Amino acid sequence: MSDRSYSVSMTVNGEVVNANVSARTNLVDFLRQDLELTGSHVGCEHGVCGACTVRVDGRIMRGCLLLAVQADGQSVETIEGMAGDPLMTSLQDVFVEENALQCGFCTPAMLLTAHEFISRVVETGAYRPDRDAIRDTISGNYCRCTGYQSIVQAVERVLIQYETAPTKAPNGAPNPGSDR
Amino acid sequence: MTDAASDHLPHTDSPHTVSGPIGHNEPRARARRTVAGKGRYVDDIVLPRMLHVAFLRSPHAHAAILSIDAAEAREAPGIVAVVTGKDMATQCTPYAGSHQLFKRLKAPDQYPLAVDRVLWQGEPVVAVVATSRALAEDAAELVDVDYDILPAVTSFERGTPPAVQLHDDIPDNIALVEQLGTATVGEDFPGADQVFEAQFRFGRITGTTLEPRGIIADYEPREGALTVHCSHQCPHQQQDIFARHLGLPEHKVRVLCPDVGGAFGLKQQLYGDEFAVCALSIMLGRPVKFIADRLESMVSDNHARDHAATARIAVKSDGTIVGMEVDDIFGIGPYSQYPRSSVGEGNHVLRITGAPYRLDDYRARLTMVYQNKSMIGHYRSVGHPVACAITEGLVDLAADGLGLDPADIRRRNFVRSSDCPRVSPGGIDMPDMSLETCFDAVVAAMDLPALRAEQAEMRKKGVYRGIGIAAFVELTASGPEYYGPGGNRITSQEGCHLKLEPSGVVRCWISVTDQGQGTDTGIGQVVASHLGVAMADVRVFSGDSETTPYGGGAWASRGIAIGGEAALRAATALKANILELAAVVLQADAGTLDIVGGRVVDRDTGTERMPLSDVARIGYFRQDTLPPGVQPELSVVRHYVTPRGRKFMATNGVHAAHVEVDTQTGIVRCLGHWVAHDAGVVVNPSLVEEQIRGGVVQGIGSALFEELRYDDDGQMLSGSLADYLVPMASEMPEITVLHVEGTGVEEELGAKGVGEAGVAGSPAAIMNAVNDAIAGAGLGQRIHTLPLSPERILGALGKVPGEL
Ligand code: FES
Ligand code: FES
Return the number of other C-beta atoms located less than 10 Å from residue A120's C-beta: 12
Confidence of residue B1 (pLDDT cuts 50, 70, 90): very low
Nearest CA, atom 4, ligand 2:
A143
Nearest one of A108, A136, A117, A125 to A59, comparing CA atoms: A117
Q: Which atom of ligand 2 is nearest to the CA of B262?
A: 2
Contact B693 A146 (CB under 8 A): yes
CA distance B672 to chain A (A): 12
Average pLDDT over all residues of chain B? 96
Q: Report the DSSP pairing between strands B124-130 and B51-57.
A: antiparallel
Inter-CA distances, B490 with B101, B268, B449, B747, Å: 14, 11, 48, 22
DSSP E strands, B662-774: 668-678, 735-741
Name the residue in chain A with its Cα closest to that of B723.
A48
Contact B729 A151 (CB under 8 A): yes
At B391-439, the pLDDT tens digits run 999 999 999 999 999 999 999 999 999 999 999 999 999 999 999 999 9
Nearest one of B296, B235, B301, B230 to B271, comparing CA atoms: B301
Question: B257 C-alpha vs ligand 2 centroid, how far in Å?
Answer: 17
Is the pLDDT assigned to residue B797 strictly greater than 70? yes
Question: B212 C-alpha vs ligand 1 centroid, how far in Å?
Answer: 12
| Angle at the Cα of B21 from the Cα atoms of B606 and B737, rounded to 5 degrees | 145
pLDDT score for B18: 59
- What does residue B692 show for φ and ψ, rounded to 5 degrees? -65, -45
pLDDT score for B191: 96
At B88-121, the pLDDT tens digits run 999 999 999 999 999 999 999 999 999 999 999 9
At A127-167, the pLDDT tens digits run 666 899 999 999 999 999 999 999 999 999 999 988 776 54
Strand partners, B673: B657, B735
Is the pLDDT assigned to residue A179 strictly greater than 60? no
More confident residue, B2 or B46: B46
- B406 pocket-lining for ligand 2 (C-beta < 6 Å): no
Inter-CA distances, B75 with B145, B183, B407, Å: 17, 65, 69
pLDDT exceeding 70 applies to what percent of chain A?
A: 88
Maximum separation of any 2 CA atoms in chain A, in Å: 56
**Ligand (nearest to CA of B517):** 2
**Ligand (nearest to CA of A104):** 2
Nearest to B516 among A39, A102, A148 (CB): A102
Contact A145 B516 (CB under 8 A): yes
Question: A142 C-alpha vs ligand 1 centroid, how far in Å?
Answer: 9
Nearest to B690 among A1, A3, A99 (CB): A99
Confidence of residue B85 (pLDDT cuts 50, 70, 90): very high
CA distance B3 to chain A (A): 12
Query: Mind spelling out the 3-state secondary structure of B201-250?
Result: EEEEEECCCCCCCEEEEEEECCCCEEEEEECCCCHHHHHHHHHHHHCCCH
Cβ partners under 8 Å of residue A178, min gap 6: A13, A14, A15, A80, A81, A83, A84
- A116 pocket-lining for ligand 1 (C-beta < 6 Å): no
User: Is the Cβ of B96 closer than 8 Å to some Cβ of chain A?
Assistant: no
pLDDT score for B8: 56
Mean pLDDT in residue range B259-283:
98
Residues of B in contact with A76 (CB under 8 A): none
Mean pLDDT in residue range B522-548:
98
Confidence of residue B186 (pLDDT cuts 50, 70, 90): very high
Mean pLDDT in residue range A13-37:
97
At B64-75, the pLDDT tens digits run 999 999 999 999
Question: B46 C-alpha vs ligand 1 centroid, how far in Å?
Answer: 21
Task: Quickly list DSSP for B308-353.
Answer: EEEEEEEE-TTS-EEEEEEEEEEE--SS--TTT-SHHHHHHHHHHT
Name the residue in chain B with its Cα closest to that of A45.
B294
- A64 pocket-lining for ligand 1 (C-beta < 6 Å): yes
Alpha-carbon span A18 to B651, nearest angstrom: 59
Residues of B in contact with A100 (CB under 8 A): 690
Is the pLDDT assigned to residue B161 strictly greater than 70? no
User: Is the Cβ of B10 closer than 8 Å to some Cβ of chain A?
Assistant: no
**DSSP code at position B643:** P
Question: B516 C-alpha vs ligand 2 centroid, how far in Å?
Answer: 8
Residues of A in contact with B295 (CB under 8 A): 46
At B587-628, the pLDDT tens digits run 999 999 999 999 999 999 999 999 999 999 999 999 999 999
**Ligand (nearest to CA of B211):** 2
At B336-385, the pLDDT tens digits run 999 999 999 999 999 999 999 999 999 999 999 999 999 999 999 999 99
Alpha helices in B532-663 (DSSP H): 564-586, 612-621
Question: B662 C-alpha vs ligand 1 centroid, how far in Å?
Answer: 31
Q: Which atom of ligand 1 is nearest to the CA of A45?
A: 1
Inter-CA distances, B17 with B7, B185, B307, B530, B586, Å: 19, 47, 43, 11, 29
Nearest one of B579, B38, B123, B617 to B374, comparing CA atoms: B123
CA distance A124 to chain B (A): 23
pLDDT score for A126: 67
pLDDT score for B535: 97
CB B517 within 8 A of CB B691: yes
CB B694 within 8 A of CB A99: no
- What does residue B417 show for φ and ψ, rounded to 5 degrees? -55, -35
pLDDT score for B15: 57
Residues of A in contact with B694 (CB under 8 A): 102, 144-147
**Residue B374 one-letter amino acid:** S
- A161 pocket-lining for ligand 2 (C-beta < 6 Å): no
Is the pLDDT assigned to residue A175 strictly greater than 50? no
Inter-CA distances, A53 with A39, A92, A103, B118, B672, Å: 10, 16, 17, 38, 30
pLDDT score for B11: 57
Is the pLDDT assigned to residue A49 strictly greater than 90? yes
CA distance B504 to chain A (A): 27
Alpha-carbon span B247 to B255, nearest angstrom: 16
- A104 pocket-lining for ligand 2 (C-beta < 6 Å): yes
pLDDT score for B552: 97
pLDDT score for B20: 86
Q: pTM for the whole thing?
A: 0.96
Cα dihedral across residues B124, B129, B133, B139: positive or negative = negative
Return the number of other C-beta atoms located less than 10 Å from residue B184's C-beta: 10
- A51 pocket-lining for ligand 1 (C-beta < 6 Å): yes
Mean pLDDT in residue range B159-172:
83
Cβ partners under 8 Å of residue B656, min gap 6: B442, B443, B446, B448, B467, B468, B469, B470, B673, B674, B675, B765
Is the pLDDT assigned to residue B480 strictly greater than 70? yes
Cβ partners under 8 Å of residue A83, min gap 6: A89, A175, A177, A178, A179, B36
- What does residue B302 show for φ and ψ, rounded to 5 degrees? -60, 140
pLDDT score for B93: 98
- A145 pocket-lining for ligand 2 (C-beta < 6 Å): yes
**DSSP code at position B432:** -
Pocket probe for ligand 1: among A33, A48, A112, A139, the residue whose CB has the most ligand atoms within 8 Å is A48
Please give the ipTM for the structure prediction. Answer: 0.96
Nearest to B44 among A38, A100, A131 (CB): A38
**Residue B651 one-letter amino acid:** T
pLDDT score for A178: 31
Mean pLDDT in residue range A60-75:
98
Nearest to A150 among B37, B690, B696 (CB): B690
Average pLDDT over all residues of chain A? 90
pLDDT score for B5: 38
pLDDT score for A124: 84
**Residue B462 one-letter amino acid:** G
Nearest one of B639, B370, B600, B711 to B491, comparing CA atoms: B639
CB B735 within 8 A of CB A147: yes
Instruction: Tell me which H or E stretch contains B509.
Output: strand B506-510
pLDDT exceeding 90 applies to what percent of chain B?
A: 95
Peptide bond into B627 cis (omega under 30): no
Contact A51 B210 (CB under 8 A): yes
Cβ partners under 8 Å of residue B379, min gap 6: B205, B206, B207, B264, B265, B266, B302, B303, B304, B305
Contact A49 B721 (CB under 8 A): yes
Strand partners, B67: B146
**Residue A29 one-letter amino acid:** D
Mean pLDDT in residue range B258-285:
97
Contact A144 B210 (CB under 8 A): yes
User: Is the Cβ of B518 closer than 8 Å to some Cβ of chain A?
Assistant: yes
Nearest one of B395, B433, B390, B388 to B415, comparing CA atoms: B433
CB B323 within 8 A of CB B192: yes
Nearest one of B166, B139, B161, B171 to B151, comparing CA atoms: B166
Is the pLDDT assigned to residue B14 strictly greater than 90? no
Q: Report the DSSP pairing between strands B538-541 and B506-510.
A: parallel
At A78-92, the pLDDT tens digits run 999 999 999 999 999
Mean pLDDT in residue range B761-773:
98
pLDDT score for A167: 46
Name the residue in chain B with its Cα closest to that of A2.
B138
- A61 pocket-lining for ligand 1 (C-beta < 6 Å): no
Nearest one of B384, B332, B304, B390 to B708, comparing CA atoms: B304
- A50 pocket-lining for ligand 1 (C-beta < 6 Å): yes
Alpha-carbon span A159 to A90, nearest angstrom: 10
